Amino acid sequence: MKNCLLYTSCLQRGGTERIVCVYSGFLKKKGCQVSVLTNFRLEEEYGLEEGIDRIVVGECIRNTASRVYNYIQRLRAIRKVCKEKKIEVAIAFAKANAIRLCIATLGLKTRVVISIRTNPEAEFKSGISSKIAKRIFGLADGFLFQTKRQRDFFGKKIAAKSVVIPNSIDRSFLKELYSGERDNRIISVGRLISCKNHKMLMRAFAQIAPEFPDSQLVIYGDGGYKEELEKEREKIGLLDRILLPGAVSQVADVIQNAGMFVLSSDYEGMPNALLEAMALGIPSISTDCPCGGPAEIIQNGRNGLLISVGDTDGLANAMRTLLSDKDMQKRFSEEGIKVQQDYSEEKTFEALYRYLEKVVQG
């Protein structure tokens, strides 16, 4: 396997985009010529390793008033890249990109692998585009899933040519278990978007705040939902105890001594933020959200707590329980940090490489 391509929408700071950068760096170290194809370019993006070719589809075409003509131009641009780079295997991230890649590579020797990183129960449940996607997905040569629940949704035919590979933990989070006194921060880390359901987290914290007057809720991240969260914070009235500091660099160093991590999402793939918090030994709580990522990471009551999606009272009770039980905090720290071995880069990257080689070999 010599020439690989990874196709995503952009390289903005997010879970999928980070994985694209990490995968591309790993494949380059394996001796592959790697290209990263994106639809557009943003100012604030992850960087790629030197020697990885970045190609922007939007910069290869001239947009016109015709959406159909623009779409055809995009397909031609993608096809041209695959032909000129002699791409042997291309991985598409996101449904729309997967459809484009499957169509653009018809008749070429390029093998197409589709990476599913969202909740298929929501994205492919209904609608014309979903029906089209499912049909076109039959053209793909392979599928990468993060969880077993994702894979099972698509049935036996697709499962037969798929592999389940969870996210790996970024090396900056592979630290010794913090030995000092943890502070009073209840933290969450992630993009500020509605599906993360930070409003529920704020409301749950408001329920327990009088019982734990020294505690603070700190939600790290940026996104289009920040204004809504600011309004919710004002409505709750805990401006000095619910903080929205934005995104931070060196996240591991900033959160390492936090007292608790909470993931309140309505749905997730394999949540990087939860893995990273547990890798630091931060006692963690998560919703048992589709498509099954948190439930594969957390063994409820042993290394963390799972609560139902959208259950504000359940989250408040879980936070109350954990804050009140020092033995539970200690156990969750000691058991949680074991994800460092289970989700190491060595395991996940080697599994990825072996799978891509099989796909290339047919």
Give CA–CA dist 157/179, Å, rounded: 49
Q: Is 249 left (phi over 0), alpha (psi -120 to 50) or beta?
A: beta
Shared domain check, 179 and 164:
no
For residue 76, the tally of other CB atoms under 10 A from its CB is 14
**DSSP code for 215:** -
pLDDT at 182: 96
pLDDT tops 90 at residue 123? no
CA dihedral 314, 320, 326, 332 (to 10 degrees): 30
CATH code: domain of residue 86:
3.40.50.2000
Give the pLDDT band (50/70/90) at residue 260: very high
Burial (Cβ within 10 Å: 0-12, 13-18, ≥19) of residue 210: exposed
Kindly indicate the confidence band of residue 244, based on its pLDDT and cuts at 50, 70 and 90.
very high
The number of folded domains in the chain is 2
Per-residue pLDDT band at 135 (split at 50, 70, 90): confident
Let me know whether 40 and 130 are in one domain: yes
Asked if residue 58 and residue 163 are part of one domain, the reply reads yes
Q: Looking at the structure, do residues 44 and 148 belong to the same domain, yes or no?
A: yes
Same domain, 205 and 333: yes
Task: Give pLDDT tens digits for 201-231.
Answer: 999 999 999 999 999 999 999 999 999 999 9
Same domain (yes/no): 351, 333 = no
Distance CA 289, CA 276 (A): 18
pLDDT-based confidence at residue 124 (cuts at 50, 70, 90): confident
Mean pLDDT across 17-34:
95
Per the structure block, which two tokens stand in for 70? 């623009």
Q: How far are the Cα atoms of 48, 89, 247, 297, 300 from residue 194, in angstroms, in the given order?
A: 29, 34, 17, 23, 25
Residues 163 and 176 in one domain: no
* Residue 50 and residue 66 share a domain: yes
pLDDT score, position 150: 92
Residues 28 and 175 in one domain: no
Return the higher-pLDDT residue of 108 and 362.
108
pLDDT at 338 over 80: yes
- List, as one string, the DSSP characters of 119-132: -HHHHSSSSHHHHH
Q: Range of 214's domain?
A: 171-342
Alpha carbon distance 199, 289 (integer Å)? 16
- Specify whether 190 is located in the same domain as 332: yes
Does one domain contain both 153 and 262? no
| Predicted pLDDT of residue 361 | 94
Using pLDDT thresholds of 50, 70 and 90, give the confidence band for residue 14.
confident
What is the rounded average pLDDT for all residues in the chain?
94
Strand partners for 36: 6, 54
At 137-196, the pLDDT tens digits run 889 999 999 999 999 988 899 999 999 999 899 889 999 999 999 999 999 999 999 999
Residue 22 and residue 33 in one domain: yes
